[in-house]
Amino acid sequence: MARVLTVGVCQMGPVERGEGRAVVVERLLAMLHQAHAKGARLVVFPELALTTFFPRWHMEDGEELDSYFEKEMPSNETQPLFDVARELGVGFYLGYAEQFVDEAGKRRRFNTAVLVDDAGAIVGKYRKVHLPGHYNYEPERPWQHLEKGYFEVGDLGFPVFPAMGGTLGMCICNDRRWPETWRVMGLKDVELVMLGYNTPTGNAVAAESPHLRMFHNHMSIQAGAYQNGTWAAAAARCGIEGGVDMMAGSCIVAPTGEIVALASTNEDEVIVADCDLDRGRYIKETIFNFAEHRRTEHYGIIVEQTGVTSA
């Protein structure tokens, strides 16, 4: 019998600087209800979904920057998401800025996503590994991308979780462009990769058309899905936010690499697809049968070096 998980992707229009959590959570709840009405049992929200994409602004490490981080999950403000998830029986992926103090008394900050199941319990956590952008203010840029300055590199690897009847994995935005992200989860037999993204339609430092940037967005997700025989569900933040045009194009991709659901607007929108979690099995057993065909004796360089060397 087919293992069908109906998945919803909740694309979000802009959230402005300083906008409160309560308004954002109301929007997320409205989409959770819409997705449920369309039959979804699991939904994906964007990266840093609770606030504006604050790394586009340079902030001295003070009160404003601190205000974008969640000190607990759930909190008073986010608890309604967990309650409604339980009431409706709909799990969710939620991206947010995580802050805590570790055992050594050190403040830690990560770009994080949690997986909440249909009982409203956190069953998985992921911290973004591939942080794009730069560490310090760069005056020549039309907007900043200070993820490297504001977050630490994730320390949890790329775990997968048995949940919602399948094997589920997570990544965040820029991670989708790296084949290593997908292959590590592929080697753990992942069946659905969830991700949220905040991607400007323009390149801040080079000429690149919005069309090409959308092509790279979808190509990365489609290739990652196909080459690992997994579903992928990707939720965008879109529209003009903080004066920057953010890319839409939220999608659900089958293990064949085909886009089976695609957002058609530049604002809050829910798309849904029935995902047969066994759809990728034939891919995993034939063309990408890893045990049969991978040649790890030739792959050492992939983990031994980061940059390119010339002959």
Active-site position among 70, 128, 191, 251: 128
- Are residues 100 and 110 in contact, defined by beta-carbon separation less than 8 angstroms? no
Structure tokens at 85: 């998830």
Q: Is 47 one of the catalytic residues?
A: yes
Phi-psi region of 145 (alpha: psi -120 to 50; beta: other; left: phi over 0): beta
Q: Which is nearer to ligand CDT, 112 or 288 (CB)?
A: 112
State the nearest-atom distance from the C-beta of 20 to ligand CDT, in Å.
Answer: 22
Residues 196-225 that bind ligand CDT (CB under 6 A): 197-199
Binding track over 145-164 against ligand CDT, x by CB under 6 A: x-------------------
Q: Which is nearer to ligand CDT, 28 or 171 (CB)?
A: 171
Q: Which is nearer to ligand CDT, 174 or 230 (CB)?
A: 174
Q: Is 128 one of the catalytic residues?
A: yes
Active-site position among 47, 147, 241, 269: 47
State the nearest-atom distance from the C-beta of 80 to ligand CDT, in Å.
Answer: 26
* Residue 33 CB-half CA count within 13 A: 8
- At 96, the amino acid letter reads Y
Collapsed DSSP state (helix, strand, coil) of residue 101: strand
Scanning 27-35, 58-66, 173-181, 294-302 for contacts with ligand CDT by CB under 6 A, the matching segment is 173-181
Contacts of residue 16, defined as CB under 8 A and 6 or more positions apart, other chains included, come to: 52, 241, 242
Site for ligand CDT contains 183 (CB under 6 A): no
Characterize the bridge pairing of strands 259-262 and 251-253. Answer: antiparallel
Backbone φ and ψ for 57, nearest 5 degrees, come out as -115, 140
Sequential DSSP letters for 244-300:
EEEP---EEE-TTS-EEEE--SSSSEEEEEEEETTTTHHHHHTTT-HHHH--GGG-H
State the nearest-atom distance from the C-beta of 225 to ligand CDT, in Å.
Answer: 17
State the nearest-atom distance from the C-beta of 222 to ligand CDT, in Å.
Answer: 15
State the nearest-atom distance from the C-beta of 143 to ligand CDT, in Å.
Answer: 10
Collapsed DSSP state (helix, strand, coil) of residue 135: coil
State the nearest-atom distance from the C-beta of 76 to ligand CDT, in Å.
Answer: 27
Q: Which is nearer to ligand CDT, 114 or 164 (CB)?
A: 114
With CB under 6 A as the rule, give the number of residues binding ligand CDT.
10
Given 132, 165, 179, 242, the residue binding ligand CDT (CB under 6 A): 132
Quote the CA–CA distance of 227 and 229 in Å, as a whole number.
6
- Taking residue 89's Cβ as centre, other Cβ atoms within 10 Å add up to 12
Q: Which is nearer to ligand CDT, 91 or 249 (CB)?
A: 249
State the nearest-atom distance from the C-beta of 147 to ligand CDT, in Å.
Answer: 6
- Are residues 192 and 166 in contact, defined by beta-carbon separation less than 8 angstroms? yes
Q: Is 71 one of the catalytic residues?
A: no
- Taking residue 144's Cβ as centre, other Cβ atoms within 10 Å add up to 20
Contacts of residue 219, defined as CB under 8 A and 6 or more positions apart, other chains included, come to: none
Q: Which is nearer to ligand CDT, 33 or 134 (CB)?
A: 134
Active-site position among 10, 147, 171, 173: 173
Q: Which is nearer to ligand CDT, 5 or 173 (CB)?
A: 173
Return the active site residues.
Answer: 47, 128, 173
Which residues in this chain contact ligand CDT in the complex, by CB under 6 A?
47, 132-133, 145, 173-174, 177, 197-199
